Structure 1
Amino acid sequence: MDLKTNKIVDTQLVQKNEVKNSYAMELDGLKRGLAKLQEEQIAISHLITDRYSQIKKYMRETHPNIAHWFDCWHIAKGIYKKLEAIGKKKKCEVVGQWARSITYWCAMSSGGNGELVVQKWCSILNHACNVHEGHGPLFPKCEHGDVENSVWIKQGTKAYQELEKVVNGRLLMVDIKKISPVEQTSGVEAFHNVFCHFAPKLLHFFHAQMDARSKYQPCISMKIQIDSRQPIRTVNQFTQYRQPKNRRGDGIAKEVKVKQTFDYIDELFEDLLLSREVNGSVVHVRQVIDVDEQARPLPLTRTGLCLNKQDIIDAHRSRFNK
């Protein structure tokens, strides 16, 4: 997806038996996507993904000319879960109160300067202890004004030690320098959410059907239309908010957006009628399908060892058999 225009540039469908295991599917999809864009002579300057270890190594060794950034939301989500778990430990409850406040504003305000991001991130340990100066040469003191009374963490306590382990994590300190300062992958996540309406995960689809559903343009149009909805504003041009509750019961603020439309359904019918006019012969359609099927991977059910049904029945042993 081009994150500036919110448009899908390319989609790739990878089946498990095309790679050595399911862990390699995401990397293989990225390789295919980059190769496709290179064939179309589309230059890539920046790529934003999550912290997938195989992708990090591949981009570092194979595409050093592409600036590889990490999505803030994925990292913040992982950090929040760790801090929330620490807050449930004895004598560490205060860490749980800080979990939601520790966010990645440091990446957005650093303009891509990795060292500045690190110093701002490490300043969390001082700030949580009510120390707001002496963070580093690039970030000597906090940028906030007067701080109201808060629940501070005392240095040397168990809560501080647990927080320090998370903040100074070895892999996190390496990856935090490459957090994307501007664009994020939220648009891709929204597209995947919409795509699940066309291909629910609870239903099985063969490769051809899944491929058709993943590339169908109305699905993409629906995603862009949902993403571009504007918030509802009052007479005084103030944004309206609603207050749903999260899973912990805390109140959160969300923008109230204009009601979405479903014009893509008309596009579905128009494309259906057009395909019927172009492919008037069922024989011609079958010939095209047969050619496409030859290039598709075998279904997963045909790649395993085929056993005789009677042998399986004979080998079955029930716990109730005497």
Structure 2
Amino acid sequence: MELEGLKRCSSELERFNVKVVVTDRHRQVGKWIRENWTQFSYHIKYTGMCKKLDSLAKKKSLSILKDWVQSLKCHLYWCALSSQTPEEKKQKWLPCVDHLQNVHDSCLHPPITREKVWLLPGILFYFFRLVELLTKTMFVNDVMKMSHLGQTSGVEAFHSVVNHFVPKMYYFSYKGMKSRIILAAMHYNENAGRPQKSGGYCLRKILVDTILLYILNQIFA
């Protein structure tokens, strides 16, 4: 489905001055872009890489890795944003294997003072499974392709707005669905990037109220 959607919108994208394409870890999409869109720079989004780490930690025999998954995600994100070249991302990522063993010769962080449960090589089964994933050629190649320019969080937020205006549990005609998607796009463009409310204390981020002025603009246009 992802590949077919990309093929259908390829002619429209070529009309714009697109330089970079960021997608999920979809092998068919990546291959098609490399073969047909050689003029574009292809990158992989950060969240697509995290899914592989989550799937490994969910296994019952490897549940102890849950304590390290979040740290690996943060390191993965740092490798993507702080690097400019694929080789730099690779060189920053590979030392994490030594870091898990409490060996920090290649690490750039300051000395660690807090207590950590380090993984012991050659003893525990889950250590081999984790190292196998972190140093796998395919995974390292994906690390080198991670986007340091931007992520797809904005597109995913728009898709959630579309699901609100066009619920998948209901049937709509073509015109009805098109109208609702246009309305969802107007709503998203009007309210994307809303600032956070000021004053008071809260444990989660609370944005300012939604703006619906675009409805009045269409009525009185």
Give the TM-score normalised by the residue count of structure 1. Answer: 0.62
Shift of 1:266: 2.8
Shift of 1:54: 1.5
Provide the residue aligned with 2:45 in structure 1.
Answer: 71
Contact 1:84 1:96 survives alignment (8 Å): yes
Rounded to whole Å, the distance in 2 between the matches of 1:54 and 1:211 is 28
Provide the residue aligned with 2:71 in structure 1.
Answer: 101
Is 1:207–2:174 an aligned residue pair? yes
Provide the residue aligned with 2:58 in structure 1.
Answer: 85
Provide the residue aligned with 2:208 in structure 1.
Answer: 258
Contact 2:165 2:180 survives alignment (8 Å): yes
Provide the residue aligned with 2:130 in structure 1.
Answer: 163
Amino acid at match of 1:62: N
Is 1:32–2:8 an aligned residue pair? yes
The structure with the largest helix share of the pair is 2
- CA gap of 1:158–1:190, structure 2 versus 1, over 3 A, is same
Rounded to whole Å, the distance in 1 between the matches of 2:174 and 2:138 is 37
What do the CA deviations read for 1:245-301 (whole angstroms, capped 9, x no partner)?
xxxxxxxxx423222233344345x1xx87xxxxxxxxxxxxxxxxxxxxxxxxxxx
Shift of 1:106: 0.8
Q: Which runs of 5+ in 2 are unaligned?
A: none
Provide the residue aligned with 2:118 in structure 1.
Answer: 152
Is 1:224–2:189 an aligned residue pair? yes
Shift of 1:241: 4.7
Rounded to whole Å, the distance in 2 between the matches of 1:188 and 1:173 is 26
What do the CA deviations read for 1:188-209 (whole angstroms, capped 9, x no partner)?
0000000111110111223343
What do the CA deviations read for 1:24-49 (whole angstroms, capped 9, x no partner)?
x32222122220233xx422111111
Provide the residue aligned with 1:57 in structure 2.
Answer: 31
Rounded to whole Å, the distance in 2 between the matches of 1:168 and 1:206 is 49
Give the % identical residues: 29
Amino acid at match of 1:180: S
Rounded to whole Å, the distance in 2 between the matches of 1:209 and 1:258 is 30
Provide the residue aligned with 2:152 in structure 1.
Answer: 185
Rounded to whole Å, the distance in 1 between the matches of 2:63 and 2:9 is 45
Amino acid at match of 1:165: E
Rounded to whole Å, the distance in 2 between the matches of 1:45 and 1:230 is 29
Rounded to whole Å, the distance in 2 between the matches of 1:53 and 1:241 is 41
Tell me the C-alpha RMSD between the 2 structures: 2.2
Rounded to whole Å, the distance in 2 between the matches of 1:93 and 1:213 is 44
Contact 2:190 2:214 survives alignment (8 Å): no
Provide the residue aligned with 1:129 in structure 2.
Answer: 101
Name the SS for the 2:94 alignment partner: helix
Shift of 1:75: 1.8
Name the SS for the 2:104 alignment partner: coil
Q: Which has the larger radius of gyration?
A: 1
- CA gap of 1:267–1:192, structure 2 versus 1, over 3 A, is farther
Provide the residue aligned with 1:115 in structure 2.
Answer: 87
Rounded to whole Å, the distance in 2 between the matches of 1:213 and 1:75 is 33
Amino acid at match of 1:260: T
Give the TM-score normalised by the residue count of structure 2. Answer: 0.87
Equivalent residue pairs, number? 216
